[in-house]
Structure 1
Amino acid sequence: MKLYRFSKDHGKKVSKFNSDFIMSRVIQTEKSAHVGCMYLEENGVIGFHQAVVPQLLLILNGEGYVRGDKEEYIKVQPGDAVFWEKDEWHETKTDTGLTAIVIESEELSPSSFMSLEKG
């Protein structure tokens, strides 16, 4: 398991075409990818299982805890991105609720765009 950041303070200001916003790049893939949004309510859990393909979990709001194959949980909050390799055991849980985007693809390389925080 690796932890990255995609929060506003990790982005770059874009002014091209008279634009005024900050972009935090997350991923680029040439192979097909599945993108979904997960809504975990209070005491929600994505049970302990193996990743079928490499998986990137982007925490949008709320907070929770993630773990890999060890029973050591790491707190996650908005702006955190958690990456698990194919076949890696993992779990996500929350006491108060969280919303996250999940990206799954045979070809994910988050370190190409985001800096590694922990993991």
Structure 2
Amino acid sequence: MKLFRFDQSVGRSIDKFGSKNLVITPILRILERHIDVVQISSMNMNPGGLIGGHEAHGPQLFIVVAGEGFITGRENLRIPIQSGQMAFWETGEWHEVMTIKGMSAIVIESDQLSPEELLLEEIIE
């Protein structure tokens, strides 16, 4: 057995798109012909954290494992999200993530993502 860390102490700070209080730690990357097929990362957002608004460069699943915050997507609505919930953004979809108290998430990026096949979709009205 091997034991690895993916907490903030082994990650790198991100400030792209105006992001703040954000640390990302790559977990897994699968390449095919030098192109990302799957990329999995841990994102730790300290209090007041922000993943600045930008377009998703590919399908992206944001799985909250601790804490709470807000997500914004194509409709530009600020929607609460917490541990046990996830958001899915499609290629080119504008999105932003913020937290007041802090939040940790696992992010999976891949053209092969189709979470609606296995998960119950939460409808927000």
Gaps of 5+ in 1: 1-30
Q: Give the structure, 1 or 2, with the largest relative contact order (CA under 8 Å, sep 6 or more).
A: 1
Q: CA deviation at 1:113?
A: 1.2
- Residue in 2 aligned with 1:92? 97
CA offset at residue 106 of structure 1? Answer: 1.2
Distance of 1:79 and 1:85 partners within structure 2: 20
Q: How far, CA to CA, are the matches of 2:94 and 2:73 in structure 1? A: 6
1:52 and 2:47 aligned: no
Which structure has more strand as a fraction of its residues? Answer: 2
Report the residue type matching 2:52 in the other structure.
G
Aligned residues: 89
* TM superposition shift of 1:112: 1.1
Please, which runs of 5 or more residues in structure 2 have no aligned partner? 1-31
Aligned equivalents of 2:123, 2:40: Cα separation in 1: 24
Query: Counterpart of 1:41 in 2: which secondary structure?
Result: strand
Runs of 4+ in 1 over 6 A off after TM superposition: none
5 Å-filtered alignment, 1:51-70, equals 51-70=56-75
2:72 and 2:80 mapped to 1: Cα distance? 9
- 2:38 aligned to which of 14, 21, 33: 33
- TM-align CA RMSD: 1.3
Match of 2:78 in 1: 73
Query: Which amino acid is 2:46 matched to?
Result: E
